[in-house]
Amino acid sequence: MTAPTGAAISIAGCGKTYPDGTRALSPVDLEVKAGETLVLLGPSGCGKTTLLRLIAGLETPDAGGRIAFDGADVTALPIEKRNVGMVFQSYALFPNMSVIDNVAYGLRVRGVATAARRAQAASVLTMMRIEALAERRIDQLSGGQRQRVALARALAVRPRVLLLDEPLTALDAALREHLRSEIDALLRRLAITAVYVTHDQAEALALGDRIVVMKNGAIAQVGTPREVYFRPADDYVAGFVGITNRLEGIVRNGRFETAAGILPVAAPDRAKAHLLFRPEAVRLVSPAEATLVFQVAQVEFQGPRQRVTLNAGDGARIIAEAPADLDLAAGAAIGLALDANRYTLA
Amino acid sequence: MKTHRLTFAFQLFVTLLAAAFLMVPAGASILAGFTANYFRGVSSGLTLDWVKQVLALYSDTIWLSIGIALGTLAATLVLAVPAAWALVRRPSRLARIVEEVVTLPVAVPGLALALALILAYGAIREFRMSPAFILTGHVLYTLPFMLRAVMAVLAAVDIRSLEEGAASLGASPLQRFFHVVLPNAKGGILAGALMVVTLSIGEFNLTWMLHTPLTKTLPVGLADSYASMRLEIASAYTLVFFVMIVPLLLALQLFGRTTGSAR
């Protein structure tokens, strides 16, 4: 099987209001580059699945919305004319067909002859390392096997775009991690354009070339996993993607002033500001070398590292990760260094 | 263990008693159909004459019943299967209302339904005189059973997701219907068919109002024979009815079971 060439997706002003008046998605603009894996991340009800279904053609956007694949307008096309591959949370495998017939179904409706389509489907099964399951019935498969069959079925038609709607949510944690890395390797090998919906931040960080964090039917932030992780756009994104520290203060004369000290920042003056950063984004240094100084409240030794709870002067507490060999004692003063690309000032 | 055995014996006794209560009259009736003279009892000798007479007198009602049952089945399949598909894939308020309206004939007495049909279409002479008039009543009456059975199975297999899956692979709505919807609705269609054929063959209320002397179905013929014929003929007629409907029921049951386990 040759690698399918992915299409670039261009979404302009696409919103979705359901007939009963609920607005699932405010008009959004989004570009997905050819061959990239874009993850839509957010809690349930944030509009991520609606956006995916708009791209798929399972829903039509409100008037004014436009979706294009490689520049060609597909807004009016139903899903069956868009040449997309889709993996559903429920897998949506056909119980009336064997595994290989499921995988060959897209070729069947395209009029490929029986022998040819079975051969083609068999090669996709081999690629997914599930050729042994070819003649099984769907109800004889485990969850992980079903997920692989669903992926094989979506890839067999060599889609321009692969759409995945929480494909791992129904699986247990260990299997989820295993399949996650498998999907990651596959998407990279095929260089297919993929849009992946999940509510799991670990999945999003591991799989995405870029992540779109969504909130209440709108986009909260678009960025690489590192950008979203280390420089979240706001409290919401920070809170959704792991543990975040937050320091209150003001910005004056290019300095962020807070109870623990100051930090030079490149930002205009602001009467109310807060600094967001990750526990592992900081370096603990001697108080003499630092402009931010905290008091050690608690040290938790975890083997490879230690987790340190620090008190700022105003009662705020932050969490920092420190190397295992750093000598820390509760009550001692400690300095904190923070690189400019590892925090967000909001 | 001992109490368990006692309970079992008691349950068996009650079950056998109930079965006997139902089976003895049926058995007596079957026997009457073979008895030369019922009032003199079996000692008068066994005969197939009554059955022969029934076939000579009433074979047209038997064929008409079979014809109407098959016609009703065909009509309900054509109407209910696509309707169930449409109602399940777009669950809206309108869909709920349609479902309720279609289900109404189950709650309305057959006689009232028949009267309504006669009032509405009785003036169309050709229609009133043809078996299609009875067929229409049977379709109205049995449609909800087929509709419900198919809808239940389509909802259980999550047909919307399956259809979206098929659509994502490029299948047109028609291909989706024949490749995905129909095969996965098979269990419900068979269950519905069982109900429809059984109800149609045994239907009396409606049919009694709708029939003409030239369009008598088996149950109407039965009532006729009970009222005007010798008891032996009526019994032999009942026997013919049993012979017709029991294998049909068994076949459909068996068919339903094999496809049920295949899913």
pLDDT digits (tens, 9 = 90+) for B145-180: 999 899 989 988 899 999 999 999 999 999 999 999
Q: What pLDDT is attached to residue A4? A: 44
**Shared domain check, A222 and A111:** yes
CB within 8 Å: A105 and B166: yes
Q: What pLDDT is attached to residue A1? A: 39
Q: Cα–Cα distances in Å, from A57 out to A13, A35, A78, B31, B179?
A: 15, 20, 5, 67, 21
The last residue of a domain, from among A213, A236, A259:
A236
What is the 3 state secondary structure string of chain A? Answer: CCCCCCCCEEEEEEEEECCCCCEEEEEEEEEECCCCEEEEECCCCCCHHHHHHHHHCCCCCCCCCEEEECCEECCCCCHHHCCEEEECCCCCCCCCCEHHHHHHHHHHHCCCCHHHHHHHHHHHHHHCCCHHHCCCEHHHCCHHHHHHHHHHHHHHCCCCEEEEECCCCCCCHHHHHHHHHHHHHHHHHHCCEEEEEECCHHHHHHHCCEEEEEECCEEEEEECHHHHHHCCCCHHHHHHCCCCEEEEEEEECCEEEECCEEEECCCCCEEEEEEEECHHHEEEECHHHCCEEEEEEEEEECCCEEEEEEECCCCCEEEEEEECCCCCCCCCEEEEEECHHHEEEC
Mutation for B interface: A83, A109, A124, most B CBs within 10 A:
A109
CB within 8 Å: B169 and A96: no
Q: What is the pLDDT of residues A237-289, one digit of tens each?
A: 888 887 778 888 999 998 999 988 899 988 889 888 888 888 888 899 988 88
Chain A residues with CB under 8 Å of B179 CB are 94, 105, 108-109
Chain B residues with CB under 8 Å of A84 CB are 168
CATH code (residue A80): 3.40.50.300
Interatomic CA distance for residues A81 and A74, integer angstroms: 9
CB within 8 Å: B161 and A96: no
Tokens (6 digits) for A176: 């989820």
Q: Is B183 on the interface with A (CB under 8 A)?
A: yes
- By C-alpha distance, the chain B residue nearest A55 is B168
CA B261 from centre of chain: 23
**Shared domain check, A253 and A227:** no
Reported ipTM exceeds the 0.85 cut = no
The last residue of a domain, from among A220, A236, A252:
A236
Q: What pLDDT is attached to residue B262? A: 40
Walk along chain A (346 residues) in steps of 10 and give the mean pLDDT of each run.
Answer: 69 91 91 94 92 94 93 93 92 94 94 93 91 92 91 92 91 84 88 92 91 93 91 86 84 91 89 88 89 90 89 86 87 89 84
Residues of A with CB under 8 A from a CB of B: 56, 58, 78-81, 83-86, 88, 90-96, 105-106, 108-110, 139, 153-154, 157, 163
**Shared domain check, A316 and A203:** no
Domain boundaries, chain B: 1-47, 54-262
Q: Cα–Cα distances in Å, from A250 out to A201, A247, A268, A279, B118?
A: 30, 10, 10, 22, 86
Residue found by looking up tokens 């409907």 in the block: B245
CB within 8 Å: B170 and A110: yes
Residue found by looking up tokens 């070819």 in the block: A134
Chain B residues with CB under 8 Å of A85 CB are 168-169
CATH code (residue A325): 2.40.50.140
Q: Are B206 and B21 in contact (CB under 8 A)?
A: no
**Shared domain check, A200 and A274:** no
Chain A residues with CB under 8 Å of B184 CB are 94-96
Q: Cα–Cα distances in Å, from B174 out to A35, A80, B167, B170?
A: 33, 12, 10, 11
Tokens (6 digits) for A47: 């509009």
Q: Answer whether residue A126 is part of any domain.
A: yes
**Shared domain check, A322 and A226:** no
Nearest to B170 among A58, A80, A94 (CB): A80
Q: How many CB atoms lie within 10 A of CB B113?
A: 20
- Residue B229 is classified by DSSP as S
Chain A residues with CB under 8 Å of B167 CB are 58, 78-80
Residue found by looking up tokens 């925090």 in the block: A343
Q: State the smallest CA–CA distance between residue B141 and chain A in angstroms.
A: 31
Q: Is B49 on the interface with A (CB under 8 A)?
A: no
Q: Is B167 on the interface with A (CB under 8 A)?
A: yes
Interatomic CA distance for residues B71 and B131, integer angstroms: 10
Mutation for B interface: A52, A105, A157, A160, most B CBs within 10 A:
A105
Q: Is B165 on the interface with A (CB under 8 A)?
A: yes
Nearest to A90 among B158, B168, B263 (CB): B158
**Shared domain check, A249 and A204:** no
Chain A residues with CB under 8 Å of B170 CB are 80-81, 83, 106, 109-110, 157
Q: State the smallest CA–CA distance between residue B183 and chain A in angstroms.
A: 6
CB within 8 Å: A79 and B168: yes
Interatomic CA distance for residues A106 and B14, integer angstroms: 58
**Shared domain check, A168 and A48:** yes
HSE on the CB side for B15, CA within 13 Å?
Answer: 6
Which pTM does this prediction carry? Answer: 0.76
Chain A residues with CB under 8 Å of B261 CB are none
Q: Answer whether residue A3 is part of any domain.
A: no
CB within 8 Å: B171 and A96: no
Q: State the smallest CA–CA distance between residue B165 and chain A in angstroms.
A: 6
**In terms of CATH, what superfamily is B54-262?**
MetI-like (1.10.3720.10)
- By C-alpha distance, the chain B residue nearest A19 is B92
Chain B residues with CB under 8 Å of A78 CB are 167
Q: Answer whether residue A1 is part of any domain.
A: no
Q: What pLDDT is attached to residue B259? A: 52
Q: State the smallest CA–CA distance between residue A195 and chain B in angstroms.
A: 14
Q: What pLDDT is attached to residue A151? A: 93
**Shared domain check, A307 and A232:** no
**Shared domain check, A319 and A271:** yes
Q: Are A319 and A277 in contact (CB under 8 A)?
A: no
Q: What pLDDT is attached to residue B1? A: 56
CB within 8 Å: A105 and B168: no
Q: Is B155 on the interface with A (CB under 8 A)?
A: no
Interatomic CA distance for residues A317 and A305, integer angstroms: 19
Chain B residues with CB under 8 Å of A96 CB are 180, 183-184, 186
Q: What pLDDT is attached to residue A235? A: 83
Q: Is B261 on the interface with A (CB under 8 A)?
A: no
Q: Is B87 on the interface with A (CB under 8 A)?
A: no
Q: How many CB atoms lie within 10 A of CB A197?
A: 27
Tokens (6 digits) for A119: 């051969």
- Residue B263 is classified by DSSP as -
CA B190 from centre of chain: 12
Q: Are B130 and B64 in contact (CB under 8 A)?
A: no
Residuewise pLDDT in 10s, chain B (263 residues): 567 888 999 999 999 999 999 888 888 888 888 888 877 777 787 888 888 888 888 888 889 999 999 999 999 999 999 999 988 887 778 888 888 888 888 888 888 888 888 898 888 888 888 889 999 999 999 999 999 899 989 988 899 999 999 999 999 999 999 999 999 998 889 888 888 998 898 888 889 888 888 888 888 888 888 888 778 888 888 888 888 888 777 876 776 665 544 43
Range of the domain at A298: 244-345
**Shared domain check, A187 and A107:** yes
From the list B235, B51, B65, the residue with the least C-alpha distance to B134 is: B65
Q: Cα–Cα distances in Å, from B88 out to A28, A155, B93, B151, B258?
A: 31, 29, 12, 6, 25
Q: Is B180 on the interface with A (CB under 8 A)?
A: yes
Q: What does the buried/exposed string (b/e) look like for A50-80 if buried means 16 or more CB atoms within 10 Å of the residue's CB?
A: bbbbbbbbbbbbbeebebbbeeeebeeeebb
CA dihedral over B248, B250, B251, B255, signed as positive or negative = positive
Chain B, residues 184-223, CB within 8 A of chain A, namely 184, 186
Q: What pLDDT is attached to residue A69? A: 94
Interatomic CA distance for residues A167 and A252, integer angstroms: 48
Q: What pLDDT is attached to residue B107? A: 82
The last residue of a domain, from among A172, A207, A236:
A236
**Shared domain check, A320 and A231:** no
CB within 8 Å: A86 and B168: yes
- By C-alpha distance, the chain B residue nearest A159 is B169
Q: What pLDDT is attached to residue B210? A: 87
**Shared domain check, A162 and A18:** yes
**Across-strand partners of A296?**
A310
- Name, in order, each residue with C-beta under 8 angstroms of A10's C-beta and a sequence gap of 6 or more: A31, A32, A66, A67, A68, A69, A71
Give the count of domains, chain A: 2
